[in-house]
Chains A and B, each alone.
Chain A
């Protein structure tokens, strides 16, 4: 589904990603772990099409299509979803209005009929219940004045409503208490499906107790220095990232 090959990316003349390879197949959950500043968010933003980042080498493909040729909205239409590490506050744009515009923009781009107000409301209520988002948040402007946890839940709500094929979650767990973490994980697990894949970016192993990944990758200084099964996450928990510095030095 997703194929990232030898990806190099820079921002403001500084190379951040220095050759990332990642292959994700339908139905899989991948975890990308790494310390602060290792390039996790850069990878996520490059996938979503943020223009600040320049891809200098390598390739990005979703279902065989070159992502680099696609505008951010076209990537979304193709089924890509990014849960932002720092969701953006948009004063003056109502949350449910925004969600309806997003759902219908995607439906339109895929040649499906747009949802009317009633059908959309039904969908929204159902998914809001699934990820335990308070209906009051739907009436407020997008993310404005939301707590950290509310913002993260709102990202998961968007994912649940948009039903992407590939969801990239960028540190959706950070700043969440254990209950919120469980809710977010339950939301993700409810969406797990044969034809859908997840890339879960995280700093801590904690989330992976609830979303059990098929593959774990360690990103260090812009490179994936090790890949393995879910046991790798536990190893990291014990040894920290220090041990992998050595691994990279040897590599």
Chain B
């Protein structure tokens, strides 16, 4: 189906032609679009993409998100107190709503200068163009390449060596599609507004930072938009980077994200992904443990209902000795929701004493919900400890009866048990405003998701 791929890539190549390859990262953009064009969109025989139905996205004509349609205070509901923040609307920086951190090289990618330009030259796109790409068989990530070629704006954060940031930095990616883009024909929109949020975090040696990314829609009922974000983390030796990715897009949104972390000697990268919104959502995470003693923790929660689809594709590479990784992904699925968890742990021959653990647990609340879980271990070192486990189960009927026998109504008992399942992930949020927000979103999606009373 290579000829099919050509017609599907055309509109995206046109977007690039319209924008051109100028600016500080022009050469890199050019290279990315060439790679994208050569690779094309994944076909149904592509193992990594087989279970993701890209049809609804690729059938629609992409138009650049128009931007600017954010009224005064439109970002407020999504902003946390006690944070530094950078706000983007439809992929464009909104300086009036932002308060960038001090002492940090933070700037919009559209207008880098001085230290910023150096940061970009060294790091931006390294994970996409091959300088720091995954070894082995990872290939080109088509959407990461598209993002590099087409991102409008974005944020780069350079945390100086030895600096520990006191406050989290919140990066809000707000989508505010224009109303006419949402007009749907035969289930799939005729056109979709597309934006390419781009984040680069470069943590200097022994620095510490917390970054919270929030993906949301100004109007939760909005549809017909496509967010295609990419995030890169360069964690210098001894640094500690905490990252949260809250995906709370509108119900009809498409979201295909890519994130990449390179973790140096004795550094720790801790990333939580919480997915509540969107119709078709996927998040691909690559973590390279690239120095002795490097550690990563990757947690996730997806709470789905209706016909939502969410895929999480993880690739953790242990490339040096004494590296550790912990993954805990949990899913709650109601309605006809579907999920895919593809977790791959790749242990290179040099990576002796690797300690890797991967867990994926799914809770199905309806008969029609479907969870796929595919853990994969590829181990080329002989002295390692790698474990993985996955479960797909239903609510514990005995526990439900026990709660009800104490007078707690069906709905409340049900909610308590689902919450008990999910909080293992949400409780890890140490920043109190974030934790409370996650709790609230969890409860909202549980209540929205329950339709029947008695026999669930």
Contacts and interface: CB of A to CB of B under 8 A. Distances in A.
Interface stretch (B81-89, B101-109, B291-299, B417-425): B417-425
Contact of B409 (A51, A105, A141): A105
Interface in A74-103: 75-77, 82, 84, 87-93, 98, 101-102
A71 B454 contact: yes
Contact of A76 (B404, B424, B454, B455): B404
Interface string B390-409: 00000010110111111111
A71 B407 contact: no
Given A50-B401, A72-B401, A106 B420 contact: no
A169 to B, nearest CB: 13
Nearest to A75: B405
Given A71-B410, A88-B398, A101-B412, A76 B405 contact: yes
In terms of DSSP, what is the predominant structure of the interface of chain B?
A: helix
Contact of B419 (A82, A92, A105, A162): A92
B416 interface: yes
Nearest to A83: B405
Contacts of A51: 401, 455
Interface residues of B, number: 24
Contacts of B408: 73, 101-102, 105
A247 B129 CA distance: 88
A232 to B, nearest CB: 29
B403 A90 contact: yes
Given A71-B454, A90-B402, A76 B407 contact: yes
Contacts of A89: 399
Instruction: Name the residue in B410, B413, B417 with the highest tally of chain A Cβ atoms < 10 Å from its Cβ.
Output: B413
Contact of A77 (B407, B424, B455): B407
A101 B405 contact: no
Interface string A149-192: 00000000010001000000000000000000000000000000
A73 B398 contact: no
Contacts of A71: 404, 410, 454
Contacts of B403: 90, 98, 102
Contacts of A72: 401, 404-405
Contact of A93 (B404, B409, B416): B416
Contacts of B417: 90, 92-93
Instruction: Name the residue in B398, B406, B420, B424 with the highest tally of chain A Cβ atoms < 10 Å from its Cβ.
Output: B406
Contacts of A48: 401, 405
A234 B333 CA distance: 55
B399 A76 contact: no
Contacts of B421: 92
A43 B283 CA distance: 51
Nearest to B413: A73
Interface in A51-83: 51, 71-73, 75-77, 82
A164 to B, nearest CB: 9
A90 B399 contact: yes
Contacts of A98: 403, 406, 416
A82 B407 contact: no
A49 interface: yes
B407 A73 contact: yes
A102 B424 CA distance: 23
A109 interface: yes
Contacts of B413: 73
B139 to A, nearest CB: 39
A101 B406 CA distance: 9
A76 to B, nearest CB: 3
A71 B455 CA distance: 10
Contacts of A109: 407
Contacts of B410: 71, 73
Nearest to A107: B407
A73 B416 contact: no
Contacts of A84: 402, 405
A19 B415 CA distance: 38
Nearest to A102: B406
B409 A91 contact: no
A165 B302 CA distance: 43
Given A50-B401, A101-B412, A105-B412, A93 B420 contact: yes
A89 B412 CA distance: 18
Contacts of B419: 92
B359 to A, nearest CB: 14
Nearest to B406: A102
Given A93-B416, A101-B416, A88 B399 contact: yes
Interface string B404-448: 111111101100110111011000000000000000000000000
Given A90-B399, A105-B409, A73 B420 contact: no
Contacts of B399: 88-90
Nearest to B408: A105
Nearest to B455: A51
B452 to A, nearest CB: 13
A3 to B, nearest CB: 20
B404 A73 contact: yes
Contacts of A141: 420
Given A90-B417, A90-B420, A93-B420, A106 B407 contact: yes
Lowest 6 CB-CB distances: which A-B pairs, in order? A92-B420, A76-B407, A72-B404, A102-B406, A88-B402, A106-B407
25 contacts: A49-B404, A49-B405, A72-B405, A73-B407, A73-B409, A73-B413, A76-B406, A76-B407, A82-B405, A88-B396, A88-B399, A88-B401, A88-B402, A90-B396, A90-B399, A90-B403, A92-B420, A92-B424, A93-B416, A98-B403, A98-B406, A101-B408, A102-B406, A105-B406, A105-B412
Given A73-B404, A105-B409, A109-B407, 15 more contacts: A48-B405, A50-B401, A72-B405, A73-B407, A76-B405, A76-B406, A77-B407, A88-B396, A90-B420, A92-B421, A93-B417, A98-B406, A101-B412, A106-B407, A162-B406
